[in-house]
Amino acid sequence: MNADRRMLPPDSEPGLAVRPAELAGLDPSPSAMAVVPVNRMFEIRDALAVYGRDFPGGEKFDASQGDGGASLPGVPSEIYEAAHRLQVEHGSAYDQPFGCAAFRRSVVEDYWQLDPGSSWGPENVLAVQGGRDGLLKAYEAALFLGRGRRGDFVITSRVPWISYSWGPYLIGANVLLAPGSEEEAWRITPEGVRTCASYVRRFDGREIALLVITSPDNPTGRVLGLEDQAELARAAFSAGVPFVLFDWIYHQVTDGEPGDLNRFLRLFDPAERERCLFLDGLTKSLGASNVRGAHLVASKNIVKFIQNRASHAIVPSFYSQAVAMAAYRMGYARACAGVIGPTNQSRGILSAFLSANGFRSIIGKGYYAFIDVGPWIDRTGFKDSADVGTYLAERFGLAVVPGVYFSVFGGRWIRFSYALPPDKTARAAARLKEGLASL
């Protein structure tokens, strides 16, 4: 842009990067905000180390992790080899902040196989450096493109994934845990969304910026059908919520049908589609946590906003896109069979075990069962499921995630990951029964 030199400050004065009216607001809230705690998942390995010290040679079971690449074969070597060839051909120059054009086309044509009639295509796709990067970018877009301010709320389930509680907070959004009951696996309801929209206005007139819907859910494994998810979104839109984010990162890990984006988009009118964002990636279904490969699908307006800001921040690596393209072109069901097949088998084994042994549990799809350990907490006088988790890890070599790590409403539950070989899932379940029986 050619500046009028008559408007420039003299060389002896500083210069602003934007006009005075465009300066970021003077916001004192960081001085009052809570200190963001470290993710307590890292404490779990410390407890397993105690078991290894006290019971040398004892078999350990990590039913805490959410990484199929750590416990199952993960990414097949032929995909890495194909990705390497793509990287060599592509070179190491900068890509665009949305990724590269070939990745966008592969997401649309090879992975989602989007119907051209949907009006969504490659320009609606944005590569991101893993799920957390995608989520942070989505939160920021919802704040800026919605009401244009920080401090509004993001709605999550009552027992959300740990980083749902703190990720929005990092960029100036607050988090509201939706109403929900144990009996319904803390399922968000349309009435709960409407209640949230009314509730937040008591806090200086704040509003909802975004509703997050995840299915299969982390930590509970609860599944919502496509029609139920669409009903929630429409309830949010009618309550004045600008945007809805659908986190489908686990949707391929199922013994049913994964999410069909074509079918789902048809449940909305064109104006509603512009308010929807979808997150998916390689982390769970391909067991590719450290590849950091994910993507957002959203309106062109949202994608343009995010990619402009990404050009000054995090530009996704080509290699993660190369792994994704190799997997998509192979046929994704074949590519991720080494993770999804054993996980589905383990789900059946664990479900039968929990039922046969009288456990109260939630087990839908994805990686996790959520198990009620409240009776054992009451029996022992433990404070909450964190005490149960420490006991199981240190004395029985079984790592699970205490539900209280997710929210106080999960304080009587544990998350048990069955992203394990089926025979190991069976032994881990037996160890759970043994450990709890010892209480």
How far apart are the C-alpha atoms of 191 and 56, rounded to whole Å?
A: 53
In tens, the pLDDT along 374-421 reads 999 999 999 999 999 999 999 999 999 999 999 999 999 999 999 999
Q: Could you count the other beta carbons within 10 Å of the beta carbon of residue 226?
A: 17
The percent of residues above 70 in pLDDT, for the chain, comes to 99
Residue 399 contacts residue 410 (beta carbons within 8 Å): no
Residues 150 and 223 in one domain: yes
Which residues are 96's β-sheet partners? Answer: 99
| 224 vs 184: CA distance, rounded Å | 11
- 136 in the same domain as 263: yes
Give the range among 18-32, 97-111, 290-304, 324-338 with minimum mean pLDDT. 18-32
Quote the domain boundaries for residue 430.
Answer: 41-65+336-437
Residue 80 has pLDDT above 80, yes or no: yes
pLDDT value, residue 41: 77
Residue where a domain stops, chosen among 332, 354, 379: 332
Residue 2: the pLDDT is 57
pLDDT of residue 17: 87
Q: Where a domain ends, among 332, 349, 378?
A: 332
Under the banding of pLDDT at 50, 70 and 90, the label for residue 40 is: confident
376 residue type, one letter: W
- Residue bearing the bigger pLDDT, 41 or 320: 320
| Burial of 351: CB neighbours in 10 Å, binned 0-12, 13-18, 19+ | middle
What does the alpha-carbon distance between residue 134 and residue 74 come to, in Å, rounded to a whole number? Answer: 22
For residue 56, what pLDDT band results from cuts at 50, 70 and 90?
A: very high
Q: Which CATH number characterizes residue 356's domain?
A: 3.90.1150.10
Percentage of the chain exceeding pLDDT 90 = 92
d(CA 66, CA 214): 15
Last residue of a domain, one of 284, 311, 332: 332
Q: What pLDDT is recorded for position 5?
A: 66
55 and 165 both lie in a single domain: no
Q: What is the rounded distance in angstroms from the CA atom of residue 232 to the CA atom of residue 187?
A: 11
Question: Average pLDDT in the 213-236 region?
Answer: 98
Task: Report how far residue 254's alpha carbon sits from residue 262's, in angstroms, rounded to the nearest whole number.
Answer: 19
Q: What is the mean pLDDT of residues 335-342?
A: 98
